[in-house]
Structure formats: C-alpha cells, structure tokens
Amino acid sequence: MKVRSVELIVLLGLAAAGVWYLVSATSFLEAGEPDYYLNPGFFPTILGCALLLFITVSLVQTLFRTSNREAFPARNTRRVILVIGLTAAYLLLWSMIEPLFYLFTVLFFLAVSLVLTLKRGTPLLPAIARLGLVAVLLTGLVYLIFDATFGISLT
C-alpha cells in the first residue's frame, strides 16, 4: 500500500475521532455562561477545533504532495499480525483465568519466539526445547522480580 493511502486513512480516522471529541466537548457548554472558562468543555472545545484545523491542513498537504511514490514499510507483516494476535489472546486468557498466568506466560513467550524463529526447513523440536527453556527462565525471573521481591501478585 502506498504511504499516501495510509496517510489519508489515518488522517480521516483522526478527523472522525476529532469530530466525536468536539461534539462531546460542546455538550458541556451552556449558552450565555459568564465564566465560560470554568466550564469543563471550554479547553477541550479549543483542542477539538485546533485538531480539525491542523488535520485539514495536513490532508490538503497530503493530497497535493508531488512525491508519493514510496510504499508504506510492510516487511514481515504476517509475523507482526501474528504477534499482535498472540498478545491479544494472552491478555484475554490471563484476564479470564488469572491463576494460570505463569503457564500462559511460558506458552506466550514460546509461541512468539517460535513465530519469529521458524522458517521453512527449521527443525521444530530443538527450537522448542531451546526457546522453551528460555521461556521458563524468563517467567521465573518475572516471578522473582514482581511476586517474590515486590509482592505484586500476577495470578
């Protein structure tokens, strides 16, 4: 995908968020209020207007820019998506079954490191053994630092 396309998507997304923010901010304002600066919507209204103004300028700049040939950096996209998915799954599992945090952590580390290691033809078992050992050690370190030293229960 071209950088300009991604830029337009992001700027339009930000503009939509800005409109929502501005509408919410103005809902606090009351007509004819004497001490308008004490209203909780006063400062956010200024911010919302400023955001929309600068996004408009940036959109115009993006649309009229002459050099737009380069592509958005997208190396290893599949791995990036997989790691984000694994992270989301890990967070979800942890919040649902808290007592199994340490087991999930070992599995999460192992899964992410395997996603980053494995290529076609890589022997699977030695990789699992090596990375599994690191996963257990690192999880142990997390336990030592947070649970044992600082008394923060992660389960």
Partner 1 sequence: MGLTEFDVSVLFDPLNIVAILVGSLAGMFFGAIPGVGAMVVLVLFLPISFLLPPLPAVLLLLAVYQSSEYGGSISSIILGIPGSPSNVATILDGHPMAQSGMPGKALGYSLWASTIGGLVGGLALLFLAVPIAAFAMTLSYPEYFLLGMLGILAVAVISSHDLIRSIISAILGLMVGTVGMDLITGDPRFTGGQMELYSGFTLVAIILGMFAFSEVITMIRDKGSQPAPDTLTVKTKVPFAELRTTAKATTGGSVIGSLIGIFPGTGSGTASWFGYSLAKKLSRNPDRFGKGSPEGIAGAESANNSSVGGSLLPLLTLGVPGSPAIAIVMGAFLMHGIVPGPNIFAEEPTLTYGILFGFLLTSVAMFFSGKLVTPIFSRVLKFPSEMLIPAVLLISIVGVYAANTSSFELWVALTVGVIAYFMRNLGFSLPAFVLAFVLSGIIEENFRRALLVSGGDLTIFVTRPFSLVLVLIIVGLVSLGIWGKARGTRREKILAEVQGTDEQKSKA
Residues contributing to the site for partner 1 (CB under 8 A): 3, 6-7, 10, 14, 21, 24-25, 28, 35-44, 47-48, 50-51, 54-55, 57-58, 61, 66-67, 72-77, 79-80, 83-84, 87-88, 90-91, 94-95, 105, 108-109, 112-113, 116-117, 131, 134, 138, 142, 145-146, 150, 152, 154
Q: Would you say 18 and 44 are in contact if contact means Cβ atoms under 8 Å apart?
A: no
Nearer to partner 1, 16 or 134 (CB): 134
The string over 111-131, giving b where at least 16 C-beta atoms fall within 10 Å of a residue's C-beta and e elsewhere, is bbbbbeeeeeeeeeeeebeeb
Distance of closest approach, residue 24 Cβ to partner 1, in angstroms: 6
Nearer to partner 1, 95 or 129 (CB): 95
Written as one letter, the residue type at 78 is: R
Distances (CA, A) of 24 to 39, 41, 146: 13, 8, 40
Distance of closest approach, residue 19 Cβ to partner 1, in angstroms: 12
Q: Would you say 146 and 152 are in contact if contact means Cβ atoms under 8 Å apart?
A: yes
Distance of closest approach, residue 36 Cβ to partner 1, in angstroms: 7
Written as one letter, the residue type at 31 is: A
Any alpha helices (H) in the chain, and if so which ranges? 3-26, 42-64, 77-96, 101-117, 124-142
Distance of closest approach, residue 31 Cβ to partner 1, in angstroms: 16
